[in-house]
Amino acid sequence: MQRSITKNQLLQFIYSESSETDAVRITEALHVDSYLNDTYKELKTAIQRLPRLRKNPANKTLQSILTYSRKEKIRDTTL
């Protein structure tokens, strides 16, 4: 009996996070299951349309965190 492939497994496959066994199984299923292939293409398109996330916070955010941290440190020492 063939196990069904979930969207989560497809996402893992797209991001190269699936095991070798699952990757082979998904690749084979994509060739024979048109519905799965359509879902795969939709997920790939959606991922490509996602905005590129910044990996570093803005300077203003860093300054806010540092300011808060300093205030908390002062408050802790006065208790």
Based on the structure, what is the number of domains in the chain? 1
Residue 57 included in any domain: no
Residue 76 included in any domain: no
Residue 1 included in any domain: yes
Residue 13 included in any domain: yes
Residue 72 included in any domain: no
pTM above 0.75, yes or no: no
Is residue 27 within 8 A of residue 40, CB to CB? The reply is no
| DSSP letter for each residue of 8-31 | HHHHHHHTT-S-HHHHHHHHHHHH
Tell me which residue range forms the domain holding 37. 1-51
Residue 41 included in any domain: yes
pLDDT of residue 51: 75
Q: What is the pLDDT along the chain (79 residues), one digit of tens a residue?
A: 357 999 999 999 999 999 999 999 999 999 999 999 999 999 999 888 887 666 788 899 999 999 999 888 777 666 5
